[in-house]
Structure 1
Amino acid sequence: MLRESQRRQADLETKIDGLLALPARMDELSSKVDALSRSTADLNAELAAQKEAAAAKNQAHAARLDKLENSQQSHHVDVQQVVESNAELRDRLKNLEIKSLMCDLLVSGVPELESENLQDVFRSLLRRLEIVPTHNDLIEATRIRSTKITNKPRMILFRLQTVQCRNEILSAKRAKGAIHADEISLAGNHPHTPLFINEHLPPSLVRFLATVKTRAKECGYRFVWIQNGTVHVKKSEGADKLIMNSEADLDLIVPVPRD
């Protein structure tokens, strides 16, 4: 009985000691909670600062990207303007080249003589075309070197006073038809070879004319000619003519349906 009482007394004292120690433990726990709260607050503050820094960095990147996009668009506009300007300059240069050659005629097929007088060749040609010559029609007459290696005689360049004079000769040649070297009454025994009279074209237009002829032949068009520096195409005699100003116009030449 005494032992049971002593055991209960010891248990009670233990519980009392535990209760007495509880405030200290609560204080310790409260301190830990406060420390954890402060740590959490510091962490939240750090996270907020990092988030703000990331947002600022993203904003800076977005601003830089916008600047780059605007710069790219500006460069694109500049490049487009340069392309358009170059195209305009090419067109102007082409027109200037054509205008500078507007009064020229090229005649091929005339045999070369050692002591030839090209002015006499010009006058003989006009007589064959039944054109009355005037003393100031011709400004210059010369042979020009061929870009190809050939045994054919060099072409003759006739530089005339006016475009009207050139067009009159071209029109008379179309009306007369074929003319041959032995028909223009020059000194020497000329062969019966055809003479060709054409406008003087700049190299770029010569290449474009060749391209148009190839396309027209592939599509079954019968007529391709050039007049005043402009290329014309027709399917047949009664068809409407097409005007070729650039390679984009080649799409107008479509295959002719076969019967």
Structure 2
Amino acid sequence: MGRCTICNNQFSDGVQCSACGKQLDFGCAGLTEAGWRRLGTDRRSAWRCPSCRTVERDGVVIRRNQISFHPPVLHCCKKGLTGQSHVHTARVKLAASIGLECRDIAYIVNMEVHLGYKSVELCSSMIFGAAAPPVTPGIHVTCHYKMIREIKLQMAEFHEIKDKLDYLPNLVEEIKSMKADIADLKKSCNFSAGLIDDLKGRLSAAEDKINNLNSQLSNSEQRSRLNNVEIKGVPSRKDENLFQIAEAICREIGYSFPKTQINNISRVPTYNSKEKAIVICFLNRYIKEDFISAARNHKLLKAEDLGFHGSQQRVFVNDHLNSESKQLLNKVKQTAKEKKYAYVWVKFGKIHVRKNDNSGVFIVNKLSDLNKFV
């Protein structure tokens, strides 16, 4: 337990001035218990009582210990209250009615008593600023210092803002941490982007290699067919003799060759067609080329000419091309028609193109060669 130096009342918890060493209860010290706790250790150790504080304005220094701040004698001319107990009761009621603390009213009233109204007005201006109301005789404390209540409200707002600002360092640290995480994420993305670019390069190289291998495979497959002739348009019969059909074609086109020059003859399926084509594999490539040339010179060969009576179906004799070469040939024919090229033919498995009788011949091996058309 302690005893207040000003009101001589005992208290269980209070404050001590760092300048004069006096012990005061919270009411006489002008503090609330919550406000005292909020000051922190450093500010509590440096706290001074109202008597030891100094107020300075415009070069004038007024020490509050120059003002009698003993247990206040509250001069209330209308009530006529004197004595410490009555004064304390009146002070508490007046403070409660206007929302102030007792210390504020006691301090202002003591200033009126000891310094006079003009001096109090000067001190009020020094303490509260230009916004303080003038101190004039006959005006109650309630009217004079409503500004104190406004200041207290502003101080409460200030403490609220201060509490919010106390979180600002933590927020700054969180932002720094987020920036670091974003920087790491950016590095990871850049690394991933580098890997993706590398994979794109490898994929492009692999695609080029695959295309090259496919081209080589297609060329190899086509070379294996250089001695083959494909005959389309010949109707199928049960128990047919393909050698006899080949001899009938030779008679019709006016070209003959020994039967021994045929290595193999058979029917093969045709893409997107129910009919099967006849493929003749010759032993001699030049005999195969002469056979195709004689068939082309005949121009119009029908199944009826081969013994299929009543069938007006045309018969076509061409090189035996693989699927890639056939697709390329179709595109070449379409482009030649658009560009008005007169001749497109196949010889030795190669697609030949010529615009007219006076122009040169060029070979189309791949799709990019279509750019040769002018």
Matched ranges for 1:95-110 at <5 A: 95-110=219-234
Aligned to 1:204: 324
**Deviation for aligned residue 1:191:** 7.7
Partner of 1:167: helix, strand, or coil?
Answer: helix
| Uncovered stretches (5+) of structure 1, i.e. residues with no partner | 1-14, 22-41, 255-259
Matched-pair identity in %: 21
CA distance in 1, matches of 2:240, 2:199: 60
1:215 aligns with 2:365: no
Task: Work out whether residues 329 and 351 of structure 2, in 8 Å CA contact, stay in contact via their aligned partners in 1.
Answer: yes
> When the two structures are superposed, what TM-score results if normalisation uses the length of structure 2?
0.46
Task: Work out whether residues 225 and 231 of structure 1, in 8 Å CA contact, stay in contact via their aligned partners in 2.
Answer: yes
Offset from partner CA, 1:138-164 (integer Å, 9 cap, x none): 1222234554367xxx64221222433
Task: Work out whether residues 234 and 240 of structure 1, in 8 Å CA contact, stay in contact via their aligned partners in 2.
Answer: yes
Note closer, same or farther for the CA distance 1:194–1:56 as it changes in structure 2 (3 Å cut). closer
Task: Work out whether residues 101 and 201 of structure 1, in 8 Å CA contact, stay in contact via their aligned partners in 2.
Answer: yes
**Deviation for aligned residue 1:20:** 8.0
1:148 aligns with 2:268: no
Which of 49, 71, 81 is matched with 2:205 structurally? 81
AA aligned opposite 2:203? V
Task: Work out whether residues 98 and 201 of structure 1, in 8 Å CA contact, stay in contact via their aligned partners in 2.
Answer: yes
AA aligned opposite 1:167? E
Task: Work out whether residues 129 and 169 of structure 1, in 8 Å CA contact, stay in contact via their aligned partners in 2.
Answer: no
AA aligned opposite 1:76? K
**Deviation for aligned residue 1:50:** 6.1
RMSD: 4.0
Offset from partner CA, 1:118-155 (integer Å, 9 cap, x none): 223434545654444262x11222234554367xxx64
Aligned to 1:120: 244
| Uncovered stretches (5+) of structure 2, i.e. residues with no partner | 1-59, 67-165
CA distance in 2, matches of 1:178, 1:233: 19
CA distance in 2, matches of 1:66, 1:83: 25
Note closer, same or farther for the CA distance 1:238–1:48 as it changes in structure 2 (3 Å cut). same
Aligned to 2:63: 18
Which of 190, 208, 214 is matched with 1:90 structurally? 214
Offset from partner CA, 1:155-196 (integer Å, 9 cap, x none): 42212224333223234445x544746998x77869898653
Count how many residue pairs are aligned between Structure 1 and Structure 2.
Answer: 214
Name whichever structure is richer in helix by fraction: 1
1:67 aligns with 2:112: no
> When the two structures are superposed, what TM-score results if normalisation uses the length of structure 1?
0.63
AA aligned opposite 1:69? A
Structure possessing the higher relative contact order (Cα contacts under 8 Å, 6 or more residues apart): 1
**Deviation for aligned residue 1:17:** 7.9
Task: Work out whether residues 111 and 181 of structure 1, in 8 Å CA contact, stay in contact via their aligned partners in 2.
Answer: no
Task: Work out whether residues 225 and 232 of structure 1, in 8 Å CA contact, stay in contact via their aligned partners in 2.
Answer: yes
